[in-house]
Amino acid sequence: MAERIELRVNDRNQVVEVEPFTTLAECLRNQLGLIGVRVSCNQGDCGACTILVDGQPVNACMELAIEAEGRSVTTIEGLARNGHLHPIQQAFVEHHGMQCGFCTPGMIMVARALLESNPAPTEQEVKEALVGNICRCGSYPKIITSVLSAAQTMREG
């Protein structure tokens, strides 16, 4: 039985109609058009679908949409401000932190949460934060460089 719920997504209130079994990833992609939420394994293994819920990284394929009611959801589409990429996005562009780009939104959302709690991470801390995110293209060195560069840019403000 479909149910209407209100979600707070990228600082906007959104009313959606979901089944009890609709995942947050399905809801964000199919109902709100937020296709930056990538779905690959659909079983919590790859991190492609990572978003932030109340500031914490979450695999959107493993969360039910109804569980997100009343919580703050942020997707990759919510990072840019006034037409300017977020510094983490900008760093991924400048340091070629991607090849096909499929894993990139998830990587960036994890990095966003990491730099919020730890503005000056070591390389090892970046690796540990990204341990649940798989890059099939093997772009890890440039992804890590991108995150470290973004951290420096953000500290210099």
Q: Return the residue matching tokens 């394994």.
A: 41
Span 85-104, contacts to ligand FES by CB under 6 A: 98-103
The answer for 54, left when phi > 0, alpha when psi is -120 to 50, beta otherwise, is left
> What's the rounded Cα separation, in Å, for the pair 66 and 27?
10
Task: Provide the terminal-to-terminal Cα distance of the chain, rounded to the nearest Å.
Answer: 48
In the bound state with ligand FES, the residue whose beta carbon lies nearer, of 77 and 102, is: 102
18, 24, 49, 144: which one binds ligand FES (CB under 6 A):
49
What's the closest the beta carbon of residue 157 comes to ligand FES, in angstroms?
Answer: 29
What's the closest the beta carbon of residue 29 comes to ligand FES, in angstroms?
Answer: 11
79 binds ligand FES (CB under 6 A): no
Burial of 35 (C-beta count, 10 Å sphere; 0-12/13-18/19+): middle
Residues in contact with ligand FES by the rule CB under 6 A = 39-42, 44-49, 59, 61, 98-103, 135-137, 139
